[in-house]
Structure 1
């Protein structure tokens, strides 16, 4: 398999190597496959979480919602890999899922068909911004200090998610967060998994995340945290392979006629900057950014992201966006779209293998997120905290991502404070014109959220 990404005996590179630029990015098929598998395992929890917690809460049939979640994830991720050649996986967003179920359908009282229409329209708006190069201009206007801060903030956010989901930290009425119950079997398993992965990483073992996940899962079976497969039904499922109850049921005209400008605006802004933040952070970790912190050819990734949003509305899922768990595959060496192709193909297989994906407990994937944060926080060395006009916006970006559990909210405070502080201290020449527009957009976003 590895040979597919190398020169053949006649000195010609293979089609796979040429298409995905494997040699150019100093990678190979074996590495990309392992990276794609790692990303799939790290984010396979959405197969159960998105339909079970959000889509069904919005009144959508569970079986079709599950198929819609899997298919939209697979198609969108394959699109990013084949069209944009980026190691980024996409799936229905957790935050956007909450907005879909509990704000649009719950608080506003919309039916899920109308809510899907709003999701689709937001994708169209996103596409227009991408093809007109507005999104590219936005990214190029972001100062390098904030790009570094975004990567660090996402790293802390990822680590916090891992610490919280594993139970290593827990809610506290007096201190908000405190040390969790380490005697809890699932939490103890996560600690064991963290130790295993850290030891493998320290010894520079190839596939450390994947080995760690599998080892932790097996230990979890021994500990009784996850079940031991006993029959074919523990490996193969027979859920509908197509979301017949939700596909094409979106009501676009109802969404437009309902006056959903604020909701569509919010969805578009959250999706746009979720994608921008994740693309910058994950691509930076893969070594794909140039000296100015920009990603060459990023518009293809953003166009793919806009189509991904529309795909979600069409299939019957909440807005599809870039997933932070893509960083786990990048940490395993993934640098090209082949990583995403593998991940997407595995999600297609998951239409029939959902029980197998469910055998991996959260305690086995949480340590991966914790370690990822440690790997991504290194960008902090590129931030000059001695310059207050750079240090404060960077700090707010970094600290508010995990504290608000939102990439967009952290970026909002960082962007707004950057413009204000630079203006107040007479450094307006350092502000690119589009940053003023972005600051206003984020103020509007915070005002209507």
Structure 2
């Protein structure tokens, strides 16, 4: 629970840190809703889902773990949900929400047992980092597509977009501004990018007017997931990669953030809070929330307790009033954010031992196959299947763990089932 010792200096610092955390992450409302739109959810509903899931996540983190973390739908996780689980697996949107809830429940089990620590040590670091890099490459590709910077080629899979078109010119101008703001470490750089990008789109004739105000009476605040496919193999093959990404991403982020805060003792409850929050996301209608990398900005700004998260929860709820204006944000203002986030995730490649063939080759397959197959699950499958094959080939089978072999066999079985038409 929140501390009873509300000393004014500490309270003021937490509230200010909460404001900073909000302004560095509110971009997710526009970005995530556009990704959810690709999965078939109307833009306004995607904004409501993103806002409610973020507010609920911050509230859970504040009340349960008393930690200054911001929980929002994860970049990369949302792409996995929209492009692999919904589009790739052919599941209906509400069936995809059921996948989110089941993955969240498994995540919760690992948070309350030693299963999470066991998986963390059993899965090779090279594969975990490769998944992050592959997600980064995938987000970059989506960003380039949204901005019209790459298009389907006449004689190739993709080619450069028309450099003289208003779409490409607007995207490039916004991208260069975004890179400048990010390199200068300007606070709220992504939010500023969206605002400036929207203004540029206005002058290039790409901007539509604001949408209608949110109708509170007709709004579907809670979505009912469909578990109709839970007995099918394809449903569980969608749950599988989402669960893996949720466990590893939150473990890594929380360890780093709480070390920065010097409150490592809060890891267990913070990890459990992220699992609870991920489950609620499925009922709000979005991909799972994670502990955002921007939590570092909250901590750096002096956030020490859950009061910072509580502040962010309130600010996210207030964002419901801004939906008509957020709906104006064009794809050209979103694409630079996806590209920069992708670039940040790709930096994990330096953690992969590229001079070790048995680690580098499976990792490489994950990295290239995620964007090239347009499927995060398929990209992961190639790497996990290749891992034991390479280890056996060079006589390092003793380095294999039971979970890795089991995961490889599950992915291989899924490929065989798909080949046979099941």
Q: Verify same fold: TM over 0.5.
A: yes
1:229-268 equivalences under 5 Å are: 236-240=213-217, 243=220, 247=223, 249-250=224-225, 255=228, 260-268=231-239
Deviation at 1:167, TM superposition (A): 1.0
Give the match for residue 441 of structure 1. Answer: 410
CA distance in 1 between counterparts of 2:26 and 2:205 reads 24
Indicate if the aligned counterparts of 2:365 and 2:379 stay in contact, CA closer than 8 A: yes
Give the match for residue 396 of structure 2. Answer: 427
Match of residue 225, structure 1, among 201, 206, 225: 206
Indicate if the aligned counterparts of 1:397 and 1:410 stay in contact, CA closer than 8 A: yes
Indicate if the aligned counterparts of 2:144 and 2:150 stay in contact, CA closer than 8 A: yes
Using the TM superposition, name which of 196-205 and 393-402 deviates more.
196-205
Cα 1:251–1:184 shift into 2, 3 Å: closer
Indicate if the aligned counterparts of 1:146 and 1:394 stay in contact, CA closer than 8 A: yes
Give the match for residue 21 of structure 1. Answer: none
CA distance in 1 between counterparts of 2:143 and 2:367 reads 17
Indicate if the aligned counterparts of 1:70 and 1:348 stay in contact, CA closer than 8 A: yes
SS in 1 for 2:90: helix
1:3-14 equivalences under 5 Å are: 14=10
For the aligned residue pairs, the C-alpha RMSD in angstroms reads 4.1
Per-residue displacement from partner, 1:51-75 (whole Å, max 9, x unpaired)? 685247xxxxx98787556434532
Residue 169, structure 1, aligned to residue 150, structure 2: yes
Give the match for residue 109 of structure 1. Answer: none
Match of residue 134, structure 2, among 153, 160, 164: 153
Give the match for residue 374 of structure 1. Answer: 343
SS in 2 for 1:190: helix
Residue 270, structure 1, aligned to residue 241, structure 2: yes
Match of residue 44, structure 1, among 20, 27, 30: 30
Give the match for residue 96 of structure 1. Answer: 81
1:63-78 equivalences under 5 Å are: 67-68=48-49, 70-76=51-57, 78=59
Indicate if the aligned counterparts of 1:119 and 1:264 stay in contact, CA closer than 8 A: no
Deviation at 1:88, TM superposition (A): 4.0
Long gaps (5+) in structure 1: 1-7, 18-27, 57-61, 107-111
Per-residue displacement from partner, 1:173-213 (whole Å, max 9, x unpaired)? 43211111222223211211111122233444343333333
Match of residue 119, structure 2, among 113, 130, 138: 138
Indicate if the aligned counterparts of 1:39 and 1:343 stay in contact, CA closer than 8 A: no
Per-residue displacement from partner, 1:76-117 (whole Å, max 9, x unpaired)? 4543565464444127945435645883449xxxxx5x7766
Indicate if the aligned counterparts of 1:274 and 1:322 stay in contact, CA closer than 8 A: no
CA distance in 1 between counterparts of 2:140 and 2:57 reads 25
Indicate if the aligned counterparts of 2:198 and 2:328 stay in contact, CA closer than 8 A: yes
Indicate if the aligned counterparts of 2:135 and 2:376 stay in contact, CA closer than 8 A: yes
TM-score, with length taken from structure 1: 0.72
CA distance in 1 between counterparts of 2:388 and 2:146 reads 35
Deviation at 1:265, TM superposition (A): 1.6
Match of residue 124, structure 1, among 81, 105, 109: 105
TM-score, with length taken from structure 2: 0.76
Deviation at 1:346, TM superposition (A): 4.4
SS in 2 for 1:226: coil
Aligned length: 401
Cα 1:447–1:243 shift into 2, 3 Å: farther
CA distance in 2 between counterparts of 1:52 and 1:387 reads 38
Give the match for residue 20 of structure 1. Answer: none
SS in 2 for 1:372: helix
Residue 200, structure 1, aligned to residue 181, structure 2: yes
Give the match for residue 356 of structure 2. Answer: 387
Long gaps (5+) in structure 2: 1-5
CA distance in 1 between counterparts of 2:382 and 2:12 reads 43
1:14-93 equivalences under 5 Å are: 14=10, 30=16, 33-47=19-33, 50=36, 53-55=39-41, 67-68=48-49, 70-76=51-57, 78-80=59-61, 83=64, 85=67, 86-90=69-73, 93=78
CA distance in 1 between counterparts of 2:279 and 2:168 reads 38
SS in 2 for 1:170: strand
Indicate if the aligned counterparts of 2:28 and 2:50 stay in contact, CA closer than 8 A: no
CA distance in 1 between counterparts of 2:105 and 2:241 reads 14
Per-residue displacement from partner, 1:329-388 (whole Å, max 9, x unpaired)? 368676777886666544423433211211222211211222233333333233222221
